[in-house]
């Protein structure tokens, strides 16, 4: 198993550009989620999904879109990048929404100029 | 609103000694889960331990134990026999499950430095 994979590892964007952060898992996990990590603020939940076709907002959803067309993939779209979206983004997954262990991807470092 | 508080931005501990990292939480949901994660300088998030709100006993995983005091709404992490490799950021997190939502809230973290 590859676990949770994220691409790219690092990305530089200009303000106003759009892009998609990719997240995939090969563990047949139902629950997947996206977080952003900013210095001094811990991780904050952006969006999550409890299964294919089902998504919901987290704590900081503005400026981000998600969709879940397959169990394996959960891409995060930045519609119009802003400097405030400079952060490290983590994707995570678990068998179900109430499972004990979330498995995290390695993270994507995003810089918006 | 649900909240996780970690009041210790940084901690030092001597190698082989025990250390307690504090975490308090606030929720009105009767069903919730509490987690601790470790983030080394390499950046990955590593799951350490879990405690469910209905669990009667404190969770333990090897050198990690969770001191769960429900009435005080605290979920402190105890690391016994600290090792140099324990130097990292530690995050406390809570998962609430109500009305079909499943959201995680993380604290701001505690940076632990183990001294040789």
pLDDT tens-digit series, residues A19-45: 999 999 999 999 999 999 998 778 999
Instruction: Provide the pLDDT for residue B98.
Output: 72
SS3 A58: coil
Q: Name the pLDDT band for B97 (thresholds 50, 70, 90).
A: confident
Q: Which of B45, B50, B105 to mutate to test the interface with A (most CBs of A within 10 A)?
A: B45
Instruction: Provide the pLDDT for residue B2.
Output: 61
Q: DSSP per residue over B14-36, as a string?
A: ETTS-EEE--EEE---SSEEEEE
* Residue in B45, B95, B107 closest to A90 by CB: B45
pLDDT tens readout for residues B15-58: 999 999 999 999 988 889 999 999 999 999 999 999 999 998 99
Question: Is residue B64 less than 8 Å (CB to CB) from chain A?
Answer: no
Residues lower than pLDDT 70 in chain A: 1
3-state secondary structure A60-87: CCCCEEECCCCCCECCEEECCCCHHHCE
**Is the confidence at residue B101, as pLDDT, over 80?**
no
> Are residues A42 and B107, on separate chains, in Cβ contact within 8 Å?
yes
Instruction: Provide the pLDDT for residue A109.
Output: 96
Q: How far is CA B51 from CA A28, A42, B67, B76, in A?
A: 24, 20, 9, 11
Percentage of residues in chain B having pLDDT higher than 70? 97
d(CA B101, CA A69): 20
Instruction: Provide the pLDDT for residue B96.
Output: 83
Average pLDDT, chain A: 93
Q: What is the longest distance spanned by two Cα atoms in chain B?
A: 48
- Chain A residues within 8 A (CB-CB) of chain B? 31, 33, 35, 40-45, 48, 50, 56, 58-59, 88, 90, 92, 97-98, 100-104, 106-107
Instruction: Provide the pLDDT for residue B1.
Output: 58
């Amino acid at each position: 198993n590859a676990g949770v994979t994220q691409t790219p590892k690092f990305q530089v964007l200009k303000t106003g550009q759009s892009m998609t952060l990719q997240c995939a898992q090969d563990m047949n996990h139902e629950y997947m989620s996206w977080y952003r990590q900013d210095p001094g603020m811990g991780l904050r939940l952006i969006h999550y999904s409890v299964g294919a076709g089902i998504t919901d907002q987290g704590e900081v959803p503005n400026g981000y879109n998600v969709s879940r067309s397959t169990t394996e993939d959960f891409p995060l779209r930045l519609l119009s990048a802003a400097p405030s979206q400079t952060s490290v983004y983590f994707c995570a997954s678990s068998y179900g929404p109430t499972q004990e262990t979330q498995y995290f991807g390695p993270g994507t470092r995003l810089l918006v100029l | 609103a649900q909240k996780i508080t970690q009041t210790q931005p940084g901690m030092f501990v001597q190698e082989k000694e025990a250390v307690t990292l504090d975490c308090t939480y606030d929720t009105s949901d009767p069903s919730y889960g509490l987690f601790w994660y470790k983030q080394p300088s390499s950046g990955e998030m590593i799951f350490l331990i879990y405690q469910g709100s209905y669990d009667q006993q404190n969770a333990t995983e090897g050198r990690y134990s969770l001191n769960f005091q429900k009435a005080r709404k605290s979920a402190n992490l105890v690391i016994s026999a600290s090792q140099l490799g324990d130097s990292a950021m530690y995050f406390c997190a809570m998962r609430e499950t109500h009305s079909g939502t499943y959201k995680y809230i993380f604290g701001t973290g505690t940076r632990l430095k183990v001294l040789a």
